[in-house]
Structures are given as structure tokens and as C-alpha cells.
Structure 1
Amino acid sequence: MKFKELQIPSEVLRAIDEAGFVDCTPIQEKALPLALSGKDVAGQAQTGTGKTATFLISLFTKLLSQQKPGDERHPRALILAPTRELVVQIEKDAQLLGKYTGFNMQAIYGGVDYMKQRDALKAGADIVIGTPGRLIDYLKQKVYSLKEVEALVIDEADRMFDMGFISDLRFILRRLPAYDKRQNMLFSATLNARVMELAYEFMNVPVKVSVTPEQMTAERVEQVLYHASRKEKFPLLLGLLRKMGMERTMIFVNTKRECEFLMDRLNANGFPAKVISGDVEQRKRMKILADFKAGELPIMIATDVASRGIHIEGVSHVINYDLPQDCEDYVHRIGRTARAGAEGMAISLADEDGAFYIEPIQEYIKQKIPVEWAEDDMFVHDYVRSKPRPPRPEDKAKGKGGRGGRDDRSRDRDKGRRGDKPKKDATVKAETPAGVGGGGNTAAPAEGASEAGGESAEKKKRRRPRKKKQPSGEGGAEASGSGTPDSND
């Protein structure tokens, strides 16, 4: 089916032609006729198959077909997405497909100028695209109202659950007009029971549309798996980069700390790379994405924050340096390549820990990942070692090293400089007689002296001291008649 065959306004068709879109993708062919007729749609399709264009074309068509009622400042359509990167990507596509519609579109997300976004939203926007957190913040300040929203879109709904946004999502949905007073669209790579429950609760009898649900991954992605120990992963990664000449590569790692360590090693060995993670400032993240899209940055290392919704054309390779613990994340990771009908390759490295995730991933995607065994010449062992990992903040706080705390060796050195002497052991005391002048028993042999001496010392400490007897006469002689102390003292 071609876009010209559908009932799409001329303003939108003009932008579609300029973008180079001619034929509909499978999800667009199934969902667009329903959405253009005003029905609610819950769509499931592989990532990178045109879900964003589907709901944007439907939104523009609906808003152009009727005049805006009520206050001009308040939004007519709301698009919700789980991550900042996805919001930015949707806004970019909306500006491209809607540049002849005359609609004012505003992206709302955290990490950038708070007051600038607040003023822009207060001034008025027809279509608002945002993450739940900051939208709720402005909503509680009454910067805008949701009472005039005519269309709602929830993108990557399953990710909303995974990231803990479901309570925020419900907070927003309960402040919209009634479900039968607006058009609702929900799109996601996976439609599980939780997502469909949300759809039936806040949508008006949605029509479920699925495209190739039996195949989770894109058809044009070539998958391969290498087994390598933890120490062999980086030498193998270098060998693959040198052998295949990967021009635009995304490397996924599970932790932020490992991202930075891998970036240092790659840069030290002549492979320019930068990191996108939750700790990186939003403006810096946008700059890294722009450089990567422009081809100025060949390698981008990321956590799973970048595996959802980012559309970057020409990504030749995706490398799972760490296999994901969540099976769905594997699908979204490798979906960064082979987008919009292109071809790509996904390489996974499985170490001792990652091997436990292979079987669940294969069960989820319903196919076996081909395994290849790396030859000895694929490993690079003469690579440059980067600087050792810096101590983590929590280690510094506990005094395990670094400038913020002292380790055990430094404490021992300081103790030696102060001249601190070790306390005398109980065995030393046991070598001398218990009393002075002979009246007491001698100590036991050294083997049992420690326990005996320690026990008697403890008893003496607990026992109340005996009062001395008064002299019986003027001569000052003691009642015992001897000059030695009592043996019980």
C-alpha cells in the first residue's frame, strides 16, 4: 500500500514525499487505515518498522480535520515516551512530517533548561511530547491543562512498566478527558498482559494490531555469538573492530562504570569512542548522539537507556559486550541496526556470567543465535592498557583506598611511625609467680597459661577487694602473725 492511497491531508502528504516515503511498512499498512478512521489502536511491531510515523500521520490528520476548541494555549495532543532520547527523536520526526501543518510542537523532558521549557509550554503548544516526570511537575504548577486533549499516544508502553513510570502514567491519564472523548493510540515492540490491561482501562475498545509476532527480531539482522572468558573479551573486541572495519558501531554494556572503563581502553588503542548513560549530562548526550549520527564519532558505548527509540541510520554493527539480563533488551539493542529495510550485524560476547542469559534470550526470540568460535589470530594481546580503574565513591567513604580514605597498609605505617607497641600477651604474665614473697602458687606451663592467667585476671577484676584487718595491739602486728599477704588476695 502507498501513502497516496490513504485519506491523508495534502499538507502531510507533501512532507511524506519530501522525506522519501512511498510505500507503507507492514505496521503502517495495518494500523493507518484504522487510526485515520478515528478508532483506537494498540499496535505491536518490531522496533524500527515505522511506528512513530504511523501515530504522527494519524495525529496530524485528526487535528487538521477540525478546528481547535477552547483555550489556544492548552495542548490538543499528548505523546508520552519513557526516555529523553525517545522524546527528542519523536519531536524530530514530528517536525519533519508536520512542517506544513502549522502546528506548534514542544518537547518536555528533564536534564535541560527548566524555565525555558516552562515558558514555552505556558506560551502554548498544539502537540506536547514528553516524559511523565517533568510533565507532572508542570501540571501540578498549572502551567498547562490536559482538559482539551483530543488525541493521546503512548509509545513504548512496556518500557513504562520496566522503568517504574506506571504510577506517573496513570496520574496523567486520569486527568485527561474521558476515554470516549479522545482518540487513543498505543504502540510498543511487545504487548504483554500488563500493557493490554492498561489499554483496556484507558482506551475506547482498542483494535489490537500485530505484525509478525512470532519473530521478535528484525529479519535483516545477522546475529552471531562468540564465547570468550572475561579476560578475553576486550582482546576479541579489538580483533573484531580491526578485522571488520566497523564504521558506525554501538556497543552495549550493562553498567555505567564498565562503560567508562571500556571507553578509556578503546580510546587508548586508537578507536575513538564516547559513552551515553544516565550519569551523562543531557546536553552532552545530545552532542554525542549528533556526532554519532553525522559520522564524526565511529563508536558509541551505551547502557540500555539508548536501546529504546533512537533511530540512527547507517548503524552497521551492534555489539553486546555484556549480554543483557532482560530478554526484551536484547531485541531492542539489536534493533538499532537494520532499520527501515537496511541490513546490519549483531555480535554478542558471552563470558562466564553472560552464558547464563543465552538460553532465556533464545527462548524469548524463538530462535537459536548462531555460534562462531574465534580463531587465535582474532585476539589482540599487544593492546595498550589504560589506567587502572579509579576507586568508587562508596569505597572511598569506607576507607578502602583513594584520596578520600586510608587503606589498611597506610594505617599500619602510621601506627609504626607513632611507635605504638603491641600489648603484652597473657603468656608473659604467666611466667612470673602469682604472689610476691612466695605465698602463692607458681604459674602453669606456657601452653595453658594464656587461658589460666586470663581467667584469674578476670575473676580478680570482678571480685570485690577484701578489707585489711586492723592491728590487734599497740605493737602493730597483724592478726595473721606473718608479714606475707593472704594467699586469697
Structure 2
Amino acid sequence: MKFNELNLPEVVLKGIEETGFTDCTPIQEKALPLALSGKDVAGQAQTGTGKTATFLISIFTRLLNQQKTGAEHHPRALILAPTRELVVQIEKDAQTLGKHTGFNIQAIYGGVDYMKQRDALKAGADIVIGTPGRLIDYLKQKVYSLKDVEALVIDEADRMFDMGFIADLRFILRRLPSYDKRQNLLFSATLNTRVMELAYEFMNMPEKVSVTPEQMTAERVEQVLYHVSRKEKFPLLLGLLRKMGMDRTMIFVNTKREAEYLQDRLNANEFPCRVISGDVEQRKRMKILSDFKAGLLPIMIATDVASRGIHIEGVSHVVNYDLPQDCEDYVHRIGRTARAGAEGMAISLADEDGAFFIEAIQEFIKQKIPTEWAEDDMFVHDYKRTARPPRRTDDKPGGRGGKPGERGGKPGRGESRGRSRSGSEKEKPEQKVAKPAAEEKAPSVDAAATGDAAAKKKRRRRKPKAKTAEQQPEQP
């Protein structure tokens, strides 16, 4: 099906043509007719198959065909995404596809331009794209209202559960018009039972659309798995980089500490790279992504913050330096390559810890990952070595990040307080030593002071506290 066969407004078709799109992808061919007819849709398709364009075209068409009835400055459509990078990507696509629609599109996410985003939202926006956290922040300040929203989109819905957004989602949904007075669209590469429960809870009899669910990964991704010890992972990675000449490569790790260590070693061995993770300042993250997209940075190391929804053309290789603990993350990671019909290669290095995740991943993607054994000449041993950074509290033994409340994971509720108490207990001996030193600064008495002198000192301290007539006779 071609886009011009659909009943789309002329300004929307013009934006589609300028992006170079002519034919619909399978998910667009199935979901667009339903969405354009006004039905709620829950769509599942492989990453990189055009889900973003599907809901953007639907929203533009709906808003153009309906006259605005609410307040002038209230948003008419709301798009929710789990990560800042995905919000930026959606906004960029929206500005391109909706260039001729005249809609005011505003991205709302944390880390940058708090007052600028606040003022823009207060001035009025037709389409708001954002992460739940900052959207709720502005809602509580009454900067804007959601009572006139005509269309709602939740992108990467499965990730919303994994990242703990369910409470924030319910907070926002309660402030929207009734589910039967708005159109609801939900898209993700994986639609599990939890996501569908949410769909039926806040959507109006949604139509579920699935494209090739029996094959979770993209068709043009060549997958390969190497079994290697933890000490041999880096020598093998260097050998692969030198042998294959990976021009634009994304390397995924599970923790920030491992990412920083890998960055230091690669840079020391003349492979320029940068790290993008949740702890990196937002402006730096956007600069790294921009340089990587422009080809100025050949290698980008990332945690799973960059595994969802980010579209970067020309990524030739994806390397799972650490195999993900979540099966769905494997699908999204390798989906950063072979996008929009291109070809790519996904290389996974399974060490002593990662080997435990292989079976679950293969069961989830419903296929066996081809295994190859690295020859001796593929390892590089004459590389420059760097010191490993100190272990962080959010790193689990073995280099894997733990869940909140687990050993080595981020502290759960009360854990940080417990640690502070234990820390203060260790400092008690020092406090006992410091106390006499503090007393020495007070006015001193004669060196041969007796117990009576000390008693007088105590009485002098209590004397100002005695204010009533009953207490004064008791003073000596």
C-alpha cells in the first residue's frame, strides 16, 4: 500500500513525500486504516519498522479533520515515551512529517531548559511529547491542562512497566478526558500480558495489530555469538574491531562502571569512543548522539538507555559486550542496526555470567543465535592497559547492575537511611574524642580544679534555665 492511497490531508502527504517515504511498511499498512477511522490501536512490530510515523500520521490527520473545541493554549495530543532520547527522536520526526501542518509541537523532558520548556508549555502547544516525570511536575504547578486532549499515544509501553512508570501513567491518565472521548494508540516492539492489561484498562476496545510476532528480531540482522572468558572479552573485541573495520558501532554494557572502563581502554588503544548512560548530563548525551549520527564519533558505548527507539542511520554493527539480563532488551539493542531495510550485524560476547542469559534470550526471540568460536589470531594481547575505576554501590558483583533492594543494586526504600546510620555508628568513637576538644574551647578553670569546681560549672549552666520562683530557692 502507498501513502497516497490513504485518505490523508494534503499537508500530511507533502511532509511524507519530503521524507522520501512512498510505500507503507507492514505495521503502517495494518494500523493506519484502523487509526485513521478513529479506532484505538495496540500495535506490535519489530523495532525500526515505522511505528513512530504510524502514530504521528494518525494524530496529524485527526487534529486536522476536527475543529479545536477546547482552550486555545491547551494541548490537543499527548505522546508519552520512557526516555529522553526517545522523546527527542519523536519530536524530530514530528517536526519533519508535520512541517506543513502548522501545529505547535513541544518536547518536554528532564535535564535541560526547565524554565524554557515551562514557558513554552504555558504559552500553548498543540502536540506535547514528553517523559512522565517532568510532565507531572508541570501538571502539579498547573502550567498546563490535559482536559482537552483528543489523542493519546504511549510509545514503548513495555518499557514503561520495566522502568516503574505505571504510577506516573495512572496519575496522567486520571487527568485526561474519559477513554471514550479520546483516541488511544499504543505501540511497542513487544506486547506482553502486562501491557495488554494496561491497554484494556485505559483504551476503548483497542484493535491489536501484530506484524511477524513469530520473529522478534529484524530480518536483515546477522547475529553471531562468541563464548569467551571475562578476561578475554576485551582482547577479542579489539580483534573484531580491527578485523571487521566497524565504521559506526554501538557497544552495549549493563553498568555505567563497565562502560567507563571500556571507554578508557578503547580510547587508550586508538579507538575513539564516548559513553552515553542515564547518569550523563542531558546536554552531553545529546552532543554524543549528534556526533555519532554525523559520523564524527565511530564508536558509542551505551547502557540500555540508548536501546529503545533511537533511530541512527548507518549503524553497521551492534556489540553486546555484556549480554542483557532482560530478554526484551536484546531485541531492542540489536534493533539499532538494520533499520528501514538496511543490513547490519549483531555480535554478542558471552562470558561466565552472560552465559546464563542465553537460553532465555533464544527462547524469547524464538530462534537460536549462531555460535562461532574465536580463533587465536582474533585476540589482541599487546594492548595498552588502564586502571579499572572503583566499584560503585549500583554495580552488582560480576559487573551487572542489580534491581532495587538487591545486593549491589541501587538502594531500595530505607536502605540509604540504613547505610547512613551504620556510617554514623562507625564515627561514634571519633565523636567521643572530639567532644573533650570542644570543651577545651570553653572558659577553663584552674588546673587543680576539684570535683566541687566541676559541680559549680554544671550549676552555672543550669542557672539560666531556672526562670520560675519555685526553682530559684533550690539554687545554692
What is the TM-score when the length of structure 2 is the normalising length? 0.82
Question: Which letter maps to 1:277?
Answer: S
Question: Which letter maps to 1:173?
Answer: L
Question: Which letter maps to 2:37?
Answer: S
Aligned to 2:341: 341
**Aligned 1:378-389 pairs, distance under 5 A:** 378-389=378-389
Aligned to 1:318: 318
Give the Å deviation of 1:389: 2.5
Give the Å deviation of 1:70: 2.4
Inter-partner Cα distance in structure 1 for 2:80 and 2:390: 38
Residues 393 and 198 of structure 1: CA distance in aligned 2, closer, same or farther (over 3 Å): closer
SS of equivalent residue, structure 2 residue 42: strand
Aligned to 1:128: 128
Aligned to 2:114: 114
Inter-partner Cα distance in structure 1 for 2:277 and 2:206: 35
Inter-partner Cα distance in structure 1 for 2:189 and 2:107: 23
Aligned to 1:442: none
Aligned to 1:254: 254
**Aligned 1:448-463 pairs, distance under 5 A:** none
Question: Which letter maps to 2:324?
Answer: P
**What whole-Å deviation, never above 9, does each CA across 1:366-400 have from its counterpart, x for those lacking one?**
100000011100000000112343465899xxxxx
Residues 315 and 180 of structure 1: CA distance in aligned 2, closer, same or farther (over 3 Å): same
**What whole-Å deviation, never above 9, does each CA across 1:430-477 have from its counterpart, x for those lacking one?**
xxxxxxxxxxxxxxxxxxxxxxxxxxxxxxxxxxxxxxxxxxxxxxxx
Give the Å deviation of 1:71: 1.2
**Aligned 1:202-221 pairs, distance under 5 A:** 202-221=202-221
Inter-partner Cα distance in structure 1 for 2:9 and 2:37: 13
Instruction: Check conservation: 2:44, 2:189, Cα contact below 8 A.
Output: yes
Aligned to 1:90: 90
Inter-partner Cα distance in structure 2 for 1:326 and 1:316: 23
**What whole-Å deviation, never above 9, does each CA across 1:118-145 have from its counterpart, x for those lacking one?**
0010000000000001101100111000
**What whole-Å deviation, never above 9, does each CA across 1:55-101 have from its counterpart, x for those lacking one?**
00000000000221121111000000000010000000000000000
Aligned to 1:280: 280
- Is residue 187 of structure 1 aligned with residue 187 of structure 2? yes
Aligned to 2:15: 15
**What whole-Å deviation, never above 9, does each CA across 1:396-424 have from its counterpart, x for those lacking one?**
xxxxxxxxxxxxxxxxxxxxxxxxxxxxx
Aligned to 1:145: 145
Inter-partner Cα distance in structure 2 for 1:197 and 1:227: 38
Aligned to 1:241: 241
Aligned to 1:6: 6
Please tell me the root mean square deviation across aligned C-alpha atoms, in Å. Answer: 1.1
SS of equivalent residue, structure 1 residue 231: helix
Residues 9 and 275 of structure 1: CA distance in aligned 2, closer, same or farther (over 3 Å): same
Give the Å deviation of 1:192: 1.0
Aligned to 1:295: 295
- Is residue 101 of structure 1 aligned with residue 91 of structure 2? no
Aligned to 1:66: 66
Aligned to 2:160: 160
Inter-partner Cα distance in structure 2 for 1:242 and 1:183: 51
Question: Which letter maps to 1:349?
Answer: L
Inter-partner Cα distance in structure 2 for 1:2 and 1:177: 34
Aligned to 1:423: none
Question: Which letter maps to 2:186?
Answer: L
Inter-partner Cα distance in structure 2 for 1:155 and 1:377: 44
Inter-partner Cα distance in structure 2 for 1:378 and 1:89: 37
Inter-partner Cα distance in structure 2 for 1:190 and 1:237: 30
SS of equivalent residue, structure 1 residue 47: coil
Deviates more, 1:381-390 or 1:294-303: 381-390
Instruction: Check conservation: 2:321, 2:348, Cα contact below 8 A.
Output: yes
Inter-partner Cα distance in structure 2 for 1:56 and 1:282: 25
Question: Which letter maps to 2:52?
Answer: T
How many percent identity over aligned positions? 88
Structure 1 regions of 5+ residues with no counterpart? 396-489
Aligned to 1:27: 27
SS of equivalent residue, structure 2 residue 374: coil
Aligned to 2:441: none
Aligned to 1:230: 230
Question: Which letter maps to 2:185?
Answer: M
Inter-partner Cα distance in structure 1 for 2:73 and 2:67: 14
Inter-partner Cα distance in structure 1 for 2:238 and 2:289: 23
Aligned to 1:176: 176
SS of equivalent residue, structure 1 residue 232: helix
Residues 385 and 45 of structure 1: CA distance in aligned 2, closer, same or farther (over 3 Å): same
Inter-partner Cα distance in structure 2 for 1:78 and 1:392: 37
Instruction: Check conservation: 2:257, 2:389, Cα contact below 8 A.
Output: no
Instruction: Check conservation: 2:257, 2:391, Cα contact below 8 A.
Output: no
Question: Which letter maps to 1:252?
Answer: F
SS of equivalent residue, structure 1 residue 318: strand
Residues 101 and 394 of structure 1: CA distance in aligned 2, closer, same or farther (over 3 Å): closer
Aligned to 1:479: none
How many residue pairs were aligned? 395
Residues 224 and 394 of structure 1: CA distance in aligned 2, closer, same or farther (over 3 Å): closer
Inter-partner Cα distance in structure 2 for 1:251 and 1:377: 22
Inter-partner Cα distance in structure 1 for 2:21 and 2:107: 24
**What whole-Å deviation, never above 9, does each CA across 1:305-326 have from its counterpart, x for those lacking one?**
1000100010000000000011
**What whole-Å deviation, never above 9, does each CA across 1:325-361 have from its counterpart, x for those lacking one?**
1100000000000000100000000001111111110
Residues 388 and 184 of structure 1: CA distance in aligned 2, closer, same or farther (over 3 Å): closer
Question: Which letter maps to 1:362?
Answer: Q
Question: Which letter maps to 1:316?
Answer: S
Aligned to 2:329: 329
What is the TM-score when the length of structure 1 is the normalising length? 0.80
